[in-house]
Amino acid sequence: LLWVLLSLFAVCELQAQREANTLQLGTPIARTIGRGQVHRFDIQLEKEQFLQLVVDQKGIDVLVRVNSPDNKILAEFDSPNGADGPEIVRIAVTAAGMYGVQVTALNQTEDVTGRYEIRVLEIRQALEPELRASRSGETLKAKGISLLSTLPELLSGVRLPQTRVRSQIQAAQLLWPVDEKLARK
């Protein structure tokens, strides 16, 4: 009986934690964050929807990433307002699914702690210009990845090994968030 009660408590705790990390329209979530921490939130979006959310920074400069349902980075947001004020996230999605929003401290070298509040301001059907901009961003990203994937062939003609290795490392760093397999290659 004790085992059943403990299991039930653990399941309820996990469900409560998952609900606490699910973004909903108009429901703010306040958190404290510091160096090395990443807070993850989920939001369900339908095909061709537009999402606008705000992360209100209170004493810490944060970086906000939006990931696709397959965990690829769609966009990063960091305005030049420093450690106080809003980070506004606006994105149109082309596919339905569970999207991820990550909040992390921008400065990973200093031991700084601060607070923020994340709140979904708007979810609606995306307008055609927003979808076009989203698709053109995806097309541009695909072209960039294609260019980076041809880099190893081009670098074989570089004579200085230091230059060749440095360029390969930089290309791998650019590719890593998008395609780990290609970055390793």
Contact 134, 50 (CB under 8 A): no
Contact 65, 101 (CB under 8 A): yes
Contact 103, 38 (CB under 8 A): yes
- 14, pLDDT greater than 50: no
Whole-angstrom distance, CA of residue 12 vs CA of residue 17: 9
pLDDT at 1: 57
Q: What are phi and psi of 143, to 5 degrees?
A: -65, -40
List, for residues 81-125, the tens digit of each pLDDT value.
888 999 999 999 999 999 999 999 988 778 889 999 999 999 999
- 17, pLDDT greater than 50: no
Whole-angstrom distance, CA of residue 110 vs CA of residue 25: 33
pLDDT at 152: 73
Whole-angstrom distance, CA of residue 46 vs CA of residue 44: 7
Whole-angstrom distance, CA of residue 43 vs CA of residue 157: 47
List, for residues 26-75, the tens digit of each pLDDT value.
899 999 999 889 999 999 999 999 999 999 999 999 999 999 999 888 88
Confidence of residue 7 (pLDDT cuts 50, 70, 90): low
- Chain length of the chain: 185
Listed in sequence order, the residues at least 6 apart from 6 whose beta carbon sits closer than 8 Å to its beta carbon are none
> Among 121, 131, 111, 113, which residue's Cα sits nearest to residue 51?
121
Whole-angstrom distance, CA of residue 97 vs CA of residue 133: 20
